[in-house]
Amino acid sequence: MALTEDLNQFLNDFGLSCTAGAVTALGILDMPGRVLGADGMVLSTEYLLTAKASDFGNLLFGDNITVGGTSYTVREALLIDDGAFVEISLTKS
């Protein structure tokens, strides 16, 4: 028997409103810091959005998305695990 999950339950507590084109749905924005360079003197922030693939899985490089009122540009979108969710790498616009 196949399991049926309500994927919104994963997004309801921490999700932000996201809009790309005509689609508005929830996504979780992570902003991990990274140390770049051999001397460790350069810090960078990566923007990663996790959302349902059915909402934003078709985004392509250069597409625009607004997350929590802030504009971003899509760098890449990759399905994760079983393909129910997508992880979208973003650049602040």
pLDDT in the model for residue 35:
76
**What domains does the chain contain, in order, with CATH numbers?**
8-92 (2.40.10)
pTM for this predicted structure: 0.85
- Alpha-carbon Rg for the chain, nearest whole angstrom, is 15
Query: Residue-wise pLDDT tens for the chain (93 aa)?
Result: 566 778 888 899 999 999 999 999 999 999 987 777 767 677 778 899 999 999 999 999 999 999 999 999 999 999 999 899 999 999 998
The b-or-e profile of 22-42 (16+ CB within 10 A means b, else e) is eeebbbbbeeeeeeeeeeeee
- Quote the pLDDT of residue 46: 87
Residues 88 and 56: beta-carbon distance below 8 Å: yes
